[in-house]
Structure 1
Amino acid sequence: MNQHSVTGEIKTEITASDRANIARLIEDYRLYEGVDFLVPLEEMLAPSENKPAPLLHYQGDTLTGFAYLQHLRPDAEIEIYGMVHPDHRRKGVGTTLFEAAKAVWRQRGASDLLLVCDGALSSGKAFASAHRGAYRFSEHRMVLDPTSIKRPQLSQGQQVQLRRAEGTDVPILAHLVSQAFDSSEEEMENWITESISADNQRFYIGLLDGLPIGSLRTVSFGDLTDIVTFGVLPLYRGQGYGRQMLVAIVDLLLEEQWPGIALDVETKNANALGLYESCGFRKIRTCDYYQVPEGELARS
């Protein structure tokens, strides 16, 4: 699908030529800004039935910018990760992409629309401000340093077993995830049913004496695997079970020789941040999230 605008053309069908253009634009961005783009190329271009298509902005044959839209669950907001080539900034490219992203948000009926910016760069913050984005929260990106893992001291009868989930475990996973993240169990069941069969995703259940008390998921792109959707039932928090689950999945991923193991944590979540740091994860960057207000969403 192609859309024309006063500043160029928006394209959503990705060809091999587009992939090469995106890779070059990401490299230009890295050289100009001195940092990597927030989302790996493999993740942005991974095929998915439910993920919104990337939005590409072309001026003639030149790729001048793009927006990657992340919509993780039906009840979740849409996150926008965008980039404009340094030579084409302040020419309406970012605004055109933003308007196209707003159209996707309307079509999907997502809860909110968030602009995601690298906390170290002023350009993203300026764009969010120009579009009346209200600061909502920040997250640290963390990667594993295997030499810094502090392993928990386990007593008899306190060990959590981590088991990979199967399709028949969807109702259990839906209950665990909905309780851990205060979300609809029915929506979680539909989402997990769709996600559990993906080649690059795995769900795990934490069992204490055979009782499911927590869950987590891994999502892999290229050489990197992310630990996500990690939660423990409220009744079992603060007792070291989450640490056991985290160390268990880290050990499993290390055994599989994954070059990169990462996760994200909200900057104000001191308990989780302390847990991740003690399990060997180190901060490499911070992302800021800005919520687009209803008034801006209503404009077109």
Structure 2
Amino acid sequence: MLHPRTHLSDDDLRAVADLERRVVAADGGRLKIEWEQLRARSTDPGAGPTTDLLWSDPQQGGRVVGYVGFDSWDGRTVELVGMVDPAARGRGIGTALLDAAVPVCRDRGFTRALLIVPRPSAAGHRLARRRGAPVEHSEHALRLDAPPPPGDEDPRTTLRPATAGDLDVLAELLTAAFGQAPTHLRAGLAGGGTLVVEHDGAVVGTVRRQRDGSSGGVYGFAVAPGSQGRGIGRDVLRRVSRRFFADGATSVHLEVAVDNDRALGLYTSVGFTLVQTEDYHDLPL
């Protein structure tokens, strides 16, 4: 039974978390569920667009056995992350959820939808192919399970919380690195999670730290092209990772495009290892 949500209750959050645990226990790897955003949706009064789709099984007392979430980085492209309980697969639940998700994407004004499928998921890729959704790009999900090995910190490199006065230079840095800056860049300044990297007093990079329970997340990590190859990125990544562990985190995670060999080499040199490769299918709307 389908349940569109414009607001996630505490019970909904627990049901999605339980479903995620069952799926990961069966399939391994991980699922790219943005828990910070899901928890934020639990504080919203619910008067707005559909943000999540849940599927319950009346034969199991209404237990949630399917889920799709909608997350957008730039307000135009939406990422769809879905899962189906291993014990409920083969019943068309994934297809029904995707059937319901496409009109939600159109109603919310998104011009592009990317369906994220873990590479080992044969069923997920079959579903994407039936929809005529080719792979647009792929990313490696990496994890660090212990503080990185010691390394010298360059005293000329400093990190500080970003302010509103940094927005223009941060947008320029992120656009150079990723092709565009996030529309929520200003909102991301709250809480001091977005950091500015300076070297000899000049802004040369940025990184966003985000804590999610016992795990730390590294996002939007960019070093200006003219400052790359000088050890600045490795120094910053070590510092940020060590801070997470010092604050009690048990792991740190990040994502990198599979064709970005330079960044992948940097991350693995600090100790990050591959958890999952995820394919982003361009879903026709």
Aligned equivalents of 1:135, 1:152: Cα separation in 2: 40
Contact 1:150–1:278 (CA under 8 A) maintained in structure 2? no
Which of 202, 206, 209 does residue 218 from structure 1 map onto? 209
Amino acid in structure 1 at the alignment position of 2:176 = Q
| 1:58 alignment counterpart | 56
SS in 2 for 1:80: strand
Amino acid at match of 2:74: R
Equivalent residues in 2 for 1:219-234, closer than 5 Å: 219-234=210-225
Secondary structure of the 1:74 match is coil
Offset from partner CA, 1:59-109 (integer Å, 9 cap, x none)? 44242311122212225x211111122343343322222133222322333
Closer, same or farther: CA 239–110 of 1 in aligned 2, 3 Å: farther
In the alignment, the residues of structure 2 paired with residue 260 and residue 280 of structure 1 have an alpha-carbon distance, to the nearest angstrom, of 11
Counterpart of 1:243 in structure 2 is: 234
How far apart are residue 19 of structure 1 and its match? 3.1
> What's the C-alpha RMSD, in Å, of the aligned pairs?
2.7
Secondary structure in 2 matching 1:57:
strand
TM-score normalised by the chain length of structure 1: 0.80
What is the distance in 1 between the residues matched to 2:147 and 2:12?
40
For residue 191 of structure 1, what is the aligned residue in structure 2? Answer: 184
Aligned pairs for 1:144-293 within 5 A: 144-146=144-146, 149=149, 151=151, 159-183=156-180, 188=182, 191-197=184-190, 199=191, 202-293=193-284
Q: Distance in 1 between matches of 2:238 and 2:93?
A: 44
TM-score when normalising by structure 2:
0.84
Contact 1:9 1:59 in 2 (8 A): no
Q: Give % identity.
A: 26
Q: Once the two structures are superposed, what CA deviation does each residue of 1:147-204 show, in whole Å capped at 9, x if it has no partner?
A: 65363685xxx832121223443333233323332326xxx4x52112222x5x7001
Partner of 2:123: 123
Gap change, CA 1:258 and 1:134, over 3 Å in 2: same
> Residues 225, 147 of structure 1: CA spacing in aligned structure 2 closer, same or farther, 3 A cutoff?
closer
- What is the CA distance between 1:275 and its match in structure 2? 0.5
**C-alpha spacing 1:142/1:58, structure 2 compared with 1 (3 Å):** same
The alpha carbon displacement at 1:212 in A equals 0.6
